[in-house]
């Protein structure tokens, strides 16, 4: 009997779309080699702190993964293992993985949560991860990351379409906006994802429907709660003209404390992550979700009224792009469709969503990892495109067919 030859790693260049490629590598079991990671940078070449932290997270929830770096960090070789989750024996603290983000992290915790949820659906056992440390930012960021509230209200409900809906919870234990310079936060978030499947269901989502209600969360961290009232009042002033059923919840919390040792006081702490923001989600009568997320910058100087108005207009823009998935939700839905059973799934997207760099690159990466190409045709409404994807039946190799 011939000895099976090891699979050659797929080769990519650059730091762009790093999490997408690592997630696809883990789901399909294909090793990857990523070169030229910020090789031209003279000050910060190689992997950034949040990217190294994501690799540590992958190592914590998988068994048998191998991760190799070059001396400068500009080349990464990742050989994925089996996704085992945080079951006792694999995680820390008896089935709970405590993942600490570094102080110089510049990305919101949603940058970690969205790919983690995708992996958790195909885990061998439950995933229970607590993000802690001085680098956890729960609000939206200037780099385009959405808040934890948007992940909870606009991303996690998408899994119900694929038959994944039980024992899924996202808890915000401590809130935090970005710290000075947009780095660090000091928040704390827990994700419990206890519904694993062999294969996602095939979906046919063709009718975006009409928006029937809008919900949201206004949050103020370490500042007066009156900022929430001002954001809510301004946002409702815009949205009530279109949808009367609008309700925005107000959440006021104190700023988190992180260790800041001094010469005379080793146990000294300081406040970090002060600010406010607004997360909005619109739901149609067919269950389609559109989201918007705006938060105050770390530099400050923004009025709550400006945040409320900007978030309301951003939500209206997301709705105007039409389709059955917003730009935040589309990558998750398209990836799950490609991983599903060997049948044709259909999803209507707006042209402005389908034509973004992220979606186009996702289609290319899926082909590289052996998934099928997408079929495109005009939808029934102007500006809509029907995306047809044949699932490859890759699914969850760690679970038996029920």
| pLDDT value, residue 6 | 58
Domain membership of residue 305 (yes or no) is yes
Q: Which residue has the higher pLDDT, 89 or 239?
A: 239
Domain membership of residue 47 (yes or no) is no
pLDDT range class, residue 87, cuts 50, 70, 90: low
Each residue of 47-84: pLDDT tens digit? 999 999 999 999 999 998 999 989 888 999 999 999 99
pLDDT range class, residue 94, cuts 50, 70, 90: low
State the Cα–Cα distance between residues 367 and 46, nearest whole angstrom.
26
| pLDDT value, residue 198 | 87
pLDDT range class, residue 342, cuts 50, 70, 90: confident
Domain membership of residue 218 (yes or no) is yes
Mean pLDDT, residues 3-18: 80
Residue 14 above 70 pLDDT? yes
| pLDDT value, residue 151 | 97
Each residue of 245-284: pLDDT tens digit? 999 999 999 988 887 777 788 778 888 889 999 999 999 9
CATH of the domain at 216: 3.30.360.20
| Chain center to CA of 259 | 28
Domain membership of residue 339 (yes or no) is no
Domain membership of residue 302 (yes or no) is yes
Q: 3-class DSSP state for residue 317?
A: helix
Mean pLDDT, residues 205-210: 93
Percentage, residues of the chain above pLDDT 90: 73
Domain membership of residue 156 (yes or no) is no
Mean pLDDT of the chain, nearest integer: 90
Each residue of 150-201: pLDDT tens digit? 999 999 999 999 999 999 999 999 999 998 888 888 999 999 999 988 889 9
| pLDDT value, residue 359 | 95
Residues in Cβ contact with 286 at an 8 Å cutoff, skipping those fewer than 6 apart: 205, 207, 208, 209, 324
E strands, 211-307, are: 211-221, 246-253, 257-259, 269-271, 275-284, 289-295
| pLDDT value, residue 355 | 92
| pLDDT value, residue 402 | 40
Rounded to a whole number, what is the distance in angstroms from the first to the last CA of the chain? 33
Q: pTM value? A: 0.92
Domain range enclosing 272: 211-261+268-315
Residue 331 above 50 pLDDT? yes
State the Cα–Cα distance between residues 342 and 393, nearest whole angstrom.
5
Domain membership of residue 101 (yes or no) is no
The structural domain count of the chain equals 1
Residues of 231-256 as b/e, b for ≥16 C-beta within 10 angstroms? bbebbbebbeeeeeebebeeebbebb
State the Cα–Cα distance between residues 249 and 77, nearest whole angstrom.
45
Domain membership of residue 281 (yes or no) is yes
């Amino acid at each position: 009997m011939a000895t099976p030859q090891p699979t050659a790693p797929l080769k990519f260049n650059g730091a762009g779309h790093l999490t997408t490629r690592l997630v696809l590598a883990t789901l399909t079991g294909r090793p990857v080699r990523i070169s030229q990671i910020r090789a031209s940078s003279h000050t910060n070449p190689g992997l950034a702190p949040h990217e190294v932290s994501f690799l540590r997270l992958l190592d914590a929830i998988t068994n048998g993964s191998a991760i190799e770096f070059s001396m400068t960090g500009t080349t990464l070789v990742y050989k994925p293992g089996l996704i085992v989750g945080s079951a006792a024996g694999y995680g820390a603290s008896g089935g709970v993985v405590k993942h600490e983000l570094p102080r110089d992290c510049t990305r919101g915790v949603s940058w970690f949560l969205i790919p983690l949820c995708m992996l958790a659906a195909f885990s061998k056992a439950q995933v229970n991860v607590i993000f802690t440390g001085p680098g956890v930012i729960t609000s939206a960021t200037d780099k385009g990351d959405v808040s934890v509230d948007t992940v909870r209200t606009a991303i996690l409900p998408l899994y119900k379409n694929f038959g994944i809906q039980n024992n899924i919870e996202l808890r915000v234990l401590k809130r935090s906006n970005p710290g000075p310079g947009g780095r660090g936060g000091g928040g704390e978030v827990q994700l419990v994802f206890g519904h694993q499947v062999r294969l996602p269901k095939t979906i046919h989502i063709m009718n975006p429907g009409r928006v029937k209600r809008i919900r949201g969360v206004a949050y103020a961290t370490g500042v007066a709660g009156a900022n929430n009232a001002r954001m809510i009042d301004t946002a409702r002033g815009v949205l009530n003209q279109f949808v009367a059923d609008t309700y925005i919840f107000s959440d006021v919390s104190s700023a988190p404390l992180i260790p800041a040792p001094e010469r005379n006081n080793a146990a000294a702490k300081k406040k970090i992550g002060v600010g406010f923001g607004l997360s909005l989600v619109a739901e149609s009568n067919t269950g389609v979700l559109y989201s918007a997320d705006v938060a105050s910058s770390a530099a400050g100087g923004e009025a709550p009224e400006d945040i409320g108005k900007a978030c309301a207009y951003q939500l209206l823009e997301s709705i105007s792009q039409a389709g059955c998935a917003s730009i935040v939700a589309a990558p998750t839905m398209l990836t799950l469709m490609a991983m599903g059973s060997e049948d044709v799934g259909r999803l209507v997207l707006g042209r402005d969503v389908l034509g973004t760099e992220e979606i186009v690159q996702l289609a290319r990466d899926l082909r590289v990892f052996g998934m099928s190409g997408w079929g495109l045709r005009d939808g029934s409404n102007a500006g809509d495109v029907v995306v047809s994807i044949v699932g490859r039946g890759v699914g969850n190799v760690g679970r038996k067919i029920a």
